[in-house]
Chains A and B, each alone.
Chain A
Amino acid sequence: MSVKIESEPLFSAKNLKLITDPINKNNPITVLVLGICSALAVTVKLEPSVVMAISVIAVLTLANVITSLLRNTIPSRIRIIVQLVIIASLVILVDEILKAFAYDVSKQLSVFVGLIITNCIIMGRLEAFALGNKPWPSTLDGLGNGIGYGIILVIVGFFRELLGSGTLWNYRVIPESIYISNGGFYENNGLFILPPMALIIVGIIIWIQRSKTRELIENE
């Protein structure tokens, strides 16, 4: 078996595809509709979006690796409980690390760190990929899907913070002097801070992506 692994380079075209595919054509959020639940509520600002994206990438990659290593020993009847335990332990780890090193962000994310457990992306990838593949491709698959998810999160966070608060990562981007209150002409769009705008931004991202990649269009 080890011979076979050596005969295939670590970053062969097939393996690279595992990373690049989920970023556009098989994007977990805009194409597979997985993992929207815990994602959109954290995108008011760029910083929590990035932290959330990194947490999900870490949990997803590690859970994929662990499940893939255990795939021959997990009895299929109780696999869902086993997967939930693996994910929950990793999420507890992430939660404790965030509380220790990034307390403010951890407070902002509140219950949404815990909700990574029920993020369908993670269960979905474990079921669909890690249970039937070797550890290395599973690592790449986890990484790819995590990044695909993270990119959408960061795009939404970017626009919501820029247009809603005029800042990026808490630094002022749109200068104070052009605001109406200082005699200018500009005003923040308060709608972008509110939750519904996240949905509409994702809707627009889907629109743009599908008009570029036309094979994704649904025919009902």
Chain B
Amino acid sequence: MENLLSIFVKSIFVDNMIFAYFLGMCSYLAVSKTVKTSAGLGLAVVFVLGITVPVNYLINNYLLAPGALKWLSPSLADMDLSFLSFIMFIAVIASMVQLVEMIIEKFSPALYSSLGIFLPLIAVNCAILGGSLFMQEREYANITEATVFGLGSGVGWFLAIVGIAAIREKLKYSNVPAPLRGLGITFIVTGLMGIAFMTFMGIKL
């Protein structure tokens, strides 16, 4: 339990997707003009990360990793399909996003209309694929850990995009040098937020 909590907190603050790894920057910069839309996108990312990371965990551990096919027949014990992981992960993500979209549309039209346009965009959000690749690289012990890591990374991304959107809403009223307006100042503010997030770095849990 303590272990899970530590993974959760670590993936939100210490290994924050945006500030430590710059993952999902494209949609982070493009959709952060208002707090409302960015919260919608953030929620969708938490959702999709929470689903795709455990699914890819199963695929990685029972199909792709070296020796993973042992459950099928002992003769496959030295099979290593890990070179296929990129293509499998992205296929899982693309189909999961499609599936999630259909489920939400069926059961919660209200949520669907608020997330609507963002869901398909998420398939090419680097944070999602990044989550799966980090899961593979860090070799989590079981599926619960992988799920907690996925959710935590999503929450970290959510916090970052809502934070920058709030700052950008306020920035509208300040006198920024013309060449820095828009994109430039957003980069610099993100950098400063990253420095602030680095204070979490030394925390041992």
CA distance in complex: A203, B85 (Å):
34
A54 within 8 A of B: no
Chain A hits for B26, CB < 8 A: 33-37, 120
Verify B188–A92 contact, CB threshold 8 A: no
> Of A84, A118, A207, A209, which is in contact with the most chain B CB atoms at under 10 Å from its CB?
A118
Verify A37–B194 contact, CB threshold 8 A: no
A41 within 8 A of B: yes
Chain A, Cβ-Cβ closest to B23: A37
A217 within 8 A of B: yes
The interface size bin for chain A is: 35 or more
CA distance in complex: A49, B86 (Å):
21
CA distance in complex: A208, B192 (Å):
19
Q: Give the Cβ gap from B201 to chain A, nearest Cβ, in Å.
A: 9
Chain B, Cβ-Cβ closest to A89: B87
Verify B90–A111 contact, CB threshold 8 A: no
Q: Give the Cβ gap from B81 to chain A, nearest Cβ, in Å.
A: 12
Knowing A96-B83, A111-B134, the reply to whether A206 touches B123 (Cβ < 8 A) is no
Verify A220–B130 contact, CB threshold 8 A: no
A80 within 8 A of B: yes
B residues within 8 Å of A by Cβ?
Answer: 19-26, 29-30, 83-87, 89-91, 94, 123-130, 133-134, 137, 172, 177-188, 190-195, 198
Verify A80–B188 contact, CB threshold 8 A: no
Chain A residues numbered 193-208 whose CB sits less than 8 Å from any CB in chain B: 194-200, 202-204, 206-208
CA distance in complex: A203, B184 (Å):
5
Verify B94–A37 contact, CB threshold 8 A: no
A69 within 8 A of B: no
Chain A, Cβ-Cβ closest to B33: A220
Tell me whether chain B's interface is mostly helix, strand or loop, or mixed.
helix
Verify B90–A217 contact, CB threshold 8 A: no
Out of B20, B125, B184, name the residue touching A210 (CB < 8 Å): B184
Q: Give the Cβ gap from A189 to chain B, nearest Cβ, in Å.
A: 13
Chain A, Cβ-Cβ closest to B21: A41
Chain A hits for B125, CB < 8 A: 118
Out of A111, A208, A211, A218, name the residue touching B182 (CB < 8 Å): A218
Q: Give the Cβ gap from B165 to chain A, nearest Cβ, in Å.
A: 14
Chain A, Cβ-Cβ closest to B197: A196
Verify A220–B181 contact, CB threshold 8 A: yes
Verify B195–A196 contact, CB threshold 8 A: yes
Chain A hits for B185, CB < 8 A: 203
Verify A41–B22 contact, CB threshold 8 A: yes
Chain A hits for B30, CB < 8 A: 33
Out of A36, A118, A196, A208, name the residue touching B129 (CB < 8 Å): A118
Knowing A197-B191, A207-B184, the reply to whether A37 touches B90 (Cβ < 8 A) is no
| Interface bits A67-110 vs B (CB < 8 Å: 1, else 0) | 00000000000001100110011011001100000000000001
CA distance in complex: A89, B78 (Å):
24
Verify A199–B187 contact, CB threshold 8 A: yes
Knowing A85-B87, A199-B194, the reply to whether A114 touches B177 (Cβ < 8 A) is no
Out of A33, A91, A196, name the residue touching B86 (CB < 8 Å): A91
Q: Give the Cβ gap from A180 to chain B, nearest Cβ, in Å.
A: 23
Verify A114–B86 contact, CB threshold 8 A: yes
> Of B87, B89, B137, which is in contact with the most chain A CB atoms at under 10 Å from its CB?
B87
Verify A115–B181 contact, CB threshold 8 A: no
Knowing A111-B130, A117-B129, the reply to whether A220 touches B123 (Cβ < 8 A) is no
CA distance in complex: A217, B181 (Å):
7
| Interface bits A9-42 vs B (CB < 8 Å: 1, else 0) | 0000000000000000000001001111111110
Chain B hits for A118, CB < 8 A: 90, 124-126, 128-130
